[in-house]
Amino acid sequence: MWNYKTPGIPDELFERTENVPITKEEVRTIQISKARLKPGQTVYDVGCGSGSISIEAGLQIESHGKVLAIDYDEKAIELTKKNAKKFNLSNITLIFGNATTKIQELEEADAIFIGGTGRDTKEIVEISQTKLKSGGRIVIGVILIETLYSVLQILENSSFELVDITQVTISKSRKTTTGTMMLARNPVTVISATKA
């Protein structure tokens, strides 16, 4: 389905449903690069939504790696399952339930992706630092200023180092009857760090 090693699968190749979010192609590419994935690693995708991060990570860590995709929305779990099947990936395990509970039951991770739109993002980051291996990477995508502030407070007062903040503002082309226009998407802030 995606015969390239580089991330950046076009959004239109994913199965989609209304009300289940997708991390957009360009932002996803940056998030995947910030995780610095290697074959054979264990990765969490917390708040997996459509599964786009899970799919990209699953390709990067190859068949002997493992993605643990967590979401409290049954529609998101079903959609991630469809996308894993579509991209012929068998290294993605789907976990339905509240991330603050489920993460505590999981094995340690080499990398953790967190979608930062929920009210419990701060708590998820706090729990994640106990499940991340030393030298492991955490990557958090946020759209709310309040979430950004609370996540940065946690990272400052925890065992993380090399904290990087990148704000991404993407515009995509769209054909009109008279030419091509650029449509702006909402800015996303990508926070990444390494566990000391």
The SS3 of residue 192 is: strand
Q: Residue 85: inside a domain, yes or no? A: yes
If one counts the domains in the chain, the total is 1
Q: Residue 4: inside a domain, yes or no? A: no
**How high is the pLDDT of residue 2?**
84
Q: Residue 168: inside a domain, yes or no? A: yes
The per-residue pLDDT for range 79-137, each reduced to its tens digit, is: 999 999 999 999 999 999 999 999 999 999 999 999 866 678 889 999 999 999 999 99
Checking DSSP bridges between strand 109-116 and strand 171-175, what pairing results, if any? unpaired
Which pair of structure tokens corresponds to residue 118? 């929920």
pTM: 0.94
Name the pLDDT band for 159 (thresholds 50, 70, 90): confident
Cα–Cα distance between 7 and 31 in angstroms, integer? 10
Which pair of structure tokens corresponds to residue 139? 């990557």
**How high is the pLDDT of residue 175?**
95
Q: Residue 60: inside a domain, yes or no? A: yes
Full domain range(s) for residue 70: 11-195
Checking DSSP bridges between strand 180-184 and strand 92-96, what pairing results, if any? unpaired
Q: Residue 45: inside a domain, yes or no? A: yes
Q: Residue 6: inside a domain, yes or no? A: no
CB contact at 8 A, 47 and 188:
no
Residue 8 scores a pLDDT above 90 = yes
Cα–Cα distance between 50 and 5 in angstroms, integer? 21
Residue 25 scores a pLDDT above 70 = yes
* CATH for 35: 3.40.50.150
Mean pLDDT of 155-165: 92
Q: Residue 153: inside a domain, yes or no? A: yes
Length of the chain, in residues: 196
Residue 1 scores a pLDDT above 80 = no
